[in-house]
Structure 1
Amino acid sequence: MAAPAAPADPAERPTAVLAVIPARGGSKGVPAKNLAAVGGVPLVARAVRECRAARLVSDVVVSTDDPGIAATARGAGAVVVQRPGALAGDTATSEAAVLHAMDAYEAMSGARVTTVLLVQCTSPFLTSADIDGVAAAVVEQGADTALTVAPFHGFVWRAEEDFGTEDASVSAPLSASGEPRGHRGARAPEGGPGPLGDEAPAVAAEGSAVAAVGREAVHAPSGPGSPAAGPGGPTGPRTVGAALPAQLSPRRTVRAGGTAGREGVQAGHDGGTAGRAPATLPPAHDAPTVARSRPGGGRGVNHDKSHRPRRQDRPQDLLETGAAYAMRADGFRAARHRFFGRTELVRTDAARVLEVDDPHDLARARALAPLFDGPATGAVPTRADVDAVVMDFDGTQTDDRVLIDADGREFVAVHRGDGLGVAALRRAGLVLLILSTETNPVVAARGRKLQVPVLHGVDRKDLALKRWCEEHGLAPDRVLYVGNDVNDLPCFDLVGWPVAVASAHDVVRGAARSVTTAPGGDGALREIASWLLGPSL
């Protein structure tokens, strides 16, 4: 994007609501995480797609240091900002990346960013409606900041030894500015915990709002019964709670009081305010008759363990999803943090809340993709999209069953319709390959019958596929790979058209860009040939 001449008066510059997607290349939990395919689409491309579909978003920027991510983002329609190395390390913050991207975008476009969105591509089921929700809160409803939240009903606990001696009175030591001492100016690494960090003191206050920061919970007051904050405004002390349960991937919870959604909840350090000051409440001690004779045990964080109200009688806690945030651009530049002023809570579907931080999260996302993405119109390739078709054998060209006779010889069944489909693909000029981990004369015999080359007995199908593409001068994004089991997933991540047969493993179907209606060994290859060459095949 060439930089246009900027008007002399900055007020005359066009304005923009800018969505920024930080996507560095150095992920350790899941290598190349931001390029991992969910529903057949890389995570970064999914985020770009939803941002571009949002009504209020003017443009989408991906901030990255990785050439592969940059190419994928451009292909999805985003503007790419090259992130400097100083902002791409393990301690890099999302805020720093967004500030850099804003400045770079304004220099390139000549536009003035008035509202900026931070969108995390590690939330694969984020929707354009979620993005429009946080944008509208700032652009149309006058909020300073906004975030996506989801209902949360869990009781949060922390091991007693993790509270520390300073928490004996359940009163967080705060600085004069209302910040927990020892954490002034702390910043969260990109995709990591919130600004308070993992060492923030822990306290609990029943009836206050809860905002879990990283693996911690921050209690912000809510409801009309909270006392006034004093002459300086509502800058009373904040309280910090315990680690969220391991199954809760989102980072924070916020308890909504009587004015939920309109009351700002401040979880950051810069301009750290919460709607009203929390009441001073006693800690949740054990019953007086129980002596603390031994160390250990646990303590409730967002509840008093001696009082267990029914779910319908408890205040509504809201979990920060970590997916989308919106900020006034001028306020964000001044605060250098995603929370300041009045923070609006934008509720989203709790069932869609998932953050990809480790391989198990990625597997769940792939398994859920067919449920949340649904059948996509036009989600099958045509001949114009594909130069080569690579086929797994067992479970794709067969039904995955093997018959063994008394002498140990193996027999499998194949589908004649698949043979017709493969022959049609070969006549149409597509480059074909059968790729299998099994060393089996049956695979070689089938290849000879179909006049298709075979690579079998390979431990790393993805490496073999990559070398084959290089040898044949094929662009991987124009290769269709069809498979059925988890050992096909690395190949799915390499190609432009990963296809699963209907009988494939759930995770494999979730990672596929397209799924056949026919199961393996029952005409799936014939169906794929009809996608590429027409239904009359």
Structure 2
Amino acid sequence: MASPTRPGPAVAILLARGGSKGIPGKNLKPVGGLSLVARSVVAARQARSVAAIYVSTDDARIAAEAERYGARVIDRPAAIADDTATSESGWLHALGLIRADHPAVSRLVLLQCTSPFTTGADIDGCLAAMEDRQAACAVTVIEDHSFLWTSGPDGFGKGINHDEAGQRQRRQDLPPTWRESGAIYCVRVADFERVGRRFCGPVALYPVAHPPVEIDTPLDLRLCDMIARSGEDQTTGVADARLRPLKALVMDFDGVHTDDTASVDENGIESVTVSRSDGMGLELLKKSGRFRLLILSKERNPVVSRRAEKLGLECLQAREDKLAVLDEWLSGNGLSWEEVLYVGNDINDAGPMQRAGLGACPRDAHPSVVPLAGWVVPVDGGKGVLRAIADRLLALA
């Protein structure tokens, strides 16, 4: 039984092999606009209890994807990366290398790519359940109201959690049962190393409300993608508690309002492509009266001015030092940095993204800023990313 002393840091590990027989390249397949690897990394980064996320892989493309979204990469040896290797062997190998960065690591969060609906709040909750129960490990579970059967000695069906020979029970009257969600396993390092298995002592159960799907087949993948695109998926978003304090939406222009490309005619006049969906979202957000909206662009460009005028938005251009400009703008509007949602896509947005109450970026933002974003919106710049943000803000109760 674990001691009640304050726990050391928790580190997350994601095992992501390159090989997959059922779905070739499975871990890089998109669900709701983000790859399975990216979804797990984003969830771990949003967990307040996790100090770092490591991805152990034998695949260069997976390694690049993991680094893009802010994970550190561990090269997984071929000997523990085939179909017969246990997850425990991969986790123990990773732990030996993680200690170089986190010598005091006392808890591990073991994540699975095949469960695409994990959230940062789920990770925090599973760790908290392990601490509250002073357990050696914890697992996310889904409540199951199924009538369970087995085959008896005579070869006929026998009820496990019900008496098939008695009066049929109502489903809600069955004894409570839980099944693993397959998403999160938390362990205390000392117990895990001693036993060598994920269930290394008393187990705390942490119920989650995920769709009960693990991705093993192409049909599973299509189903999860449909669920993720239904509007009910919170995995790649942020919790309401982080959004409610926000009172201002500040947006870079190129790569956010646009797809970061421009056409130039023979007279040097630029034109860009914008999204009507973004325009509608910003119009609805403006009409709500709940947020101040600002376009902040490094360059002065007539196309930015025209777009801002059409949307009826305040616009500041030719501002190299975005931090200084926003300091002044916030002060003049009685706002604080903690009340800002800043949306950027490139290196010159790094400062405001880190300083703001919440930094966000499109899915296709430059790799240097994706790890800085508290919210990676699974939509490309200029293709509806601002509509996705507006819809999420407007949905706040």
Pairwise TM-score range, normalised by the shorter structure: 0.5 to 0.7
- Tell me the CA shift for residue 135 of structure 1: 1.1
Secondary structure class of the residue paired with 1:117: strand
Paired residues of 1:16 and 1:58 also in contact (CA < 8 A): yes
**Partners of 2:90 and 2:192 in 1: CA distance:** 12
The separation in 2 between residues aligned to 1:21 and 1:528, in whole angstroms, is 30
Q: 1:352 aligns with which of 200, 208, 211?
A: 211
Residue 232 of structure 2 aligns to a residue in which SS? helix
Question: Percent of aligned positions with the same letter in both sequences?
Answer: 40
Deviation by residue 1:324-346 (Cα, 9 ceiling, x = unmatched)? 01111010001110112211010
In the superposition, relative to structure 1, how do residues 312 and 332 fare at CA in structure 2: closer, same or farther (>3 Å)? same
Deviations 1:333-390 (A, max 9, x none): 01110112211010111x5332111110110111111332369699x9963374669x
Residue pair 1:49, 1:76 contacting (<8 A) in 2 also: yes
**Inter-partner Cα distance in structure 2 for 1:428 and 1:83:** 47
Match of 1:456 in 2: none
Task: Determine whether 1:145 maps to 2:137.
Answer: yes
Distance 1:331 1:58, change over 3 A: same
Deviation string 1:278-337 (CA, Å, 9 cap, x unpaired) is: xxxxxxx7xxxxxxxxxx653434433213322233211111101001111010001110
- Which secondary structure state, in structure 2, belongs to the residue aligned with residue 324 of structure 1? strand
Q: Specify which structure has the higher proportion of helix.
A: 2
CA distance in 2 between partners of 1:376 and 1:323 (Å): 17
Alpha-carbon distance in 2 for matches of 1:310, 1:17: 42
- Paired position in structure 1 for 2:379: 514
Tell me the equivalent position of 1:115.
Answer: 107
CA distance in 1, matches of 2:102, 2:380: 44
> Are 1:103 and 2:96 an aligned pair?
yes
How far the C-alpha of 1:39 sits from its partner, in A, is 1.3
Count of residues in Structure 1 that have an aligned counterpart in Structure 2: 263
Output the CA distance in 1 between the equivalents of 2:116 and 2:46.
15
Secondary structure in structure 2 of the residue aligned to 1:112: coil
Is 1:304 matched with 2:163?
A: yes
TM-score by length of 1: 0.44
2:225 to 358, 366, 369: 366
Work out the CA distance in 2 between the residues paired with 1:38 and 1:335: 35
Give the corresponding residue for 1:134: 126
- The CA distance in 1 between the partners of 2:110 and 2:385, in whole Å, is 42
Alpha-carbon distance, 1:149 to partner: 0.7
The question of 1:90 aligning with 2:57 is answered no
Distance 1:339 1:345 in 2: 11
Q: Distance in 1 between matches of 2:214 and 2:384?
A: 36
CA distance in 1, matches of 2:195, 2:53: 22
Unaligned runs of 5+ in 2: 1-6, 239-248, 264-268, 274-344, 347-362, 366-376, 387-397
Alpha-carbon distance change, 306 to 381 in structure 1, aligned in 2, over 3 angstroms = farther
User: Does 2:60 align with 1:67?
Assistant: yes
Corresponding position: 1:384 with 2:255: yes
State the secondary structure of the residue aligned to 1:95: helix
Q: Give the residue type in structure 1 aligned to 2:31.
A: V
User: Equivalents in 1 of 2:385, 2:380: separation in Å?
Assistant: 13
Q: CA RMSD in A?
A: 3.6
CA distance in 2, matches of 1:317, 1:16: 32
CA gap of 1:348–1:376, structure 2 versus 1, over 3 A, is: closer
Q: Is the 8 A contact 1:115 1:138 kept in 2?
A: no
CA contact (8 A) 1:18 1:115 kept: yes
Gapped runs of 5+ residues in structure 1? Answer: 1-13, 169-284, 286-295, 390-419, 421-425, 431-476, 479-495, 499-511, 517-526, 532-537
TM-score (norm 2): 0.58
In structure 2, C-alpha distance between the alignment counterparts of 1:383 and 1:91, rounded to whole Å? 48
Distance change in 2, residues 1:427/1:131 (3 Å): same
